[in-house]
Structure 1
Amino acid sequence: MIRTSRPADVIRYGVFGGPAPGNRAYPLASVGTGPSPAMSKREVMSAAASLRSNGTHSLTLAHGRYVPAIVAARPRVTVRAWEMTQLLVDSPEAATCHEVFGILFREIAHRGGERLFLRLREDDPLVRIAASCGFTKYGEETLLAGPKVSFPGVSTESVREVKPVDEHDLFRLYNASTPSRARFALGMTADQWRAAREPVGWRSREYIYRQDDAAQGWAQVIRKGRSAILTLMSHPNADNSVPALVTHAMSRSWGVGNWYVLAGDHQVRLQALMGQRGHWEVARYVTMARAITSPVTVAEARRAVRIRGLNPAVDLSERYQSSTREKSYAARNS
């Protein structure tokens, strides 16, 4: 039986049927943890609390008292893009995932979702199972760990905190620095990119590197107690952006003892520079996405009104309905 999850399901998952593995999905703020072969009490409490998070939708596969699978997803920035936050699977059978994923896809579609994102460890057997469920791999990432570093002689005068007016320039930087396969999954338009940005909460800082009146680099720091995760984007032609952003971001993060740097496989320069400063590889991840056909989106397409003569064409119906869905979602969860 598949039903909406309850917090007690996590306890049943971790107790009945023997020790069960921990969460196998890795939202951005969770990289650097696990994998746990058996859930600890702290992990059980954390997972149970996350199922009640605002906007999270979760499903439980139950066979009597035994719970072999729990999945949970939440919207990223808007309801158009979702991410998997909990993937508790105690059964290696692909049929278990197919059954639960299929219902989760339909539930997200009825809520206006268009894409679902998932990050897994590269060596997890669920990568193959997720692919058989329609997920497509669009990126590979390396997690590096090490101490605080700096690059003497590199000026950080061009680095400052991100402001709302920088959004358009950051979108242009994203287009210039991100491989086409990833852009196709994350979004080709500014609205799609904005909807798919990973939420990290209030414990984060963003920095921008500007040169020649344009954004040449971007960095984000996510605090996790005495640890922090650093992610970056850099223009291919801006050689100084990476050392400047790393130096500035780490120098502004007081009290951090352990640093993690998440670098895509296309970010060769970032990986090389951090390796020279004593950082080492601790994990590898794959990022996957699945397109979801929403009944709402299909209905909108039939009523779409396009204004020609503008470049690009403007779909007024899509924008109006998307705005309506997002306002309704915000009202329900306020």
Structure 2
Amino acid sequence: MNRFPNLAITSAGIRKPQSFYTLLPGVSRSRFQSRHRVGALTCVEKGSLQAVAAFRPRSGTRSWEISHLYATPDSGDALIALLEQAAAVSAYGGAERVFLRVESDGDIIPTARRAGFFPCYLETLYRGQTAVAKSRRGLFDTDAHSTKRGPEHDHALFRLYNETTPVKIRQLVGMTLDQWKDSRERSNGRRIERVVEVDGNVRSWLTTSVRSGVGRIDVVPHPDYAALTPDLIDYALRSLSNSRSVVALVPDYAPLLGSYLEERGFRPEGEFAVLVKSTARMARQPVAARTSLVAE
């Protein structure tokens, strides 16, 4: 009996220990249950289960992600075929793109690239504590100068996304408002979002969330208002004071955010690569694989 780690990493998965799946010879079906519709594929060779993949929509049907990926060390071409079929099934469900996050030094990356996944950007996972923020009080009053994010902010946030994200990444993640909204990862746990507006434009976007006692911070600052970021981080840490620890995912195109976190005692804990496969042309292609669509 062998146990293999989940090679796919989702936003929810960065807070908890690595999950494992047991591959048993002769087993040809798997089931993943979710509050949302998901797809599941298995690859069996000579009566032995070689790989398992589960995939699901992100915030909308235009963008899906591979949430679970387990494989034997010798799965090879079988894993490539499984990833290709997962993308095809996602396309049949309306996906224009499929995301896969993996460890940046993982052996899975060459395999994923052979299956048509293209490197998009790198992320560094930081972890720290909230105590450092208790004595920090900056000049910027976040409560007084920010508001809770609402649907009316969608267009302004999309403009902020365009102003802060390199075009080569936007081409993979989404170029339109609807594509961008669908590509956002699902919220996990209790989430609070605040925006800082200047003359009707959002200049900073702060998100905090808590799940299973672990907090998370996400900050998207406009380059012209980057000076607000330290105060926003301190505000977020104070609001997460009851958390055991706090994590933050920092993309490689926003290194200044990582510097601010390190000044507050955060330390890098891992590095991930985000890959994307375009599936827009696959939607009408036949899917020659056994799939299990699960809904609760």
Q: TM-score range by the shorter chain?
A: 0.7 to 0.9
Give the 3 Å change call, closer, same or farther, for CA 129–30 of structure 1 in structure 2. same
Task: State the distance in 2 between where 1:123 and 1:184 align.
Answer: 24
Give the 3 Å change call, closer, same or farther, for CA 201–278 of structure 1 in structure 2. closer
Structure-2 residue corresponding to 1:220:
207
State the shift of 1:137 in Å.
Answer: 0.8
| 1:255 counterpart SS class | coil
Structure-1 residue corresponding to 2:261:
274
Structure-2 residue corresponding to 1:103:
85
Structure-1 residue corresponding to 2:67:
85
Q: Give percent identity, aligned residues only.
A: 24
Task: State the distance in 2 between where 1:49 and 1:256 align.
Answer: 32
| 1:104 counterpart SS class | helix
Would you say the 8 A contact 1:21–1:90 is kept in 2? yes
| 1:141 counterpart SS class | strand
Instruction: Answer 1 or 2: which has greater helix percent.
Output: 1
Structure-2 residue corresponding to 1:75:
57
1:195 aligns with 2:185: no
Matches within 5 A, 1:1-334: 18-35=1-18, 50-63=32-45, 66-148=48-130, 149-150=132-133, 151-155=136-140, 156=142, 157-294=144-281
Task: State the distance in 1 between where 2:127 and 2:59 align.
Answer: 28
Return the structure number with greater relative CO, CA threshold 8 A, min gap 6: 2
State the shift of 1:109 in Å.
Answer: 1.9
State the shift of 1:32 in Å.
Answer: 4.2
Question: Which amino acid letter does the alignment assign opposite residue 246 of structure 2?
Answer: W
Number of matched pairs: 276
| 1:31 counterpart SS class | helix
State the TM-score, normalized to the length of structure 2.
0.85
Question: Which amino acid letter does the alignment assign opposite residue 111 of structure 1?
Answer: G
State the shift of 1:234 in Å.
Answer: 1.0
Question: Which amino acid letter does the alignment assign opposite residue 221 of structure 1?
Answer: T
Deviations 1:216-275 (CA, angstroms, capped at 9, x unpaired): 111222322111222221111102331232122222235212011111112122111111
| 2:4 counterpart SS class | coil
Ranges in structure 1 where 5+ consecutive residues have no aligned partner:
1-17, 41-47, 299-331
State the TM-score, normalized to the length of structure 1.
0.76
- Supply the RMSD in Å over aligned alpha carbons: 2.4
Deviations 1:55-114 (CA, angstroms, capped at 9, x unpaired): 110101134663221101101122111011101112344312112112222212222211
Task: State the distance in 1 between where 2:160 and 2:170 align.
Answer: 12
Task: State the distance in 2 between where 1:297 and 1:171 align.
Answer: 30
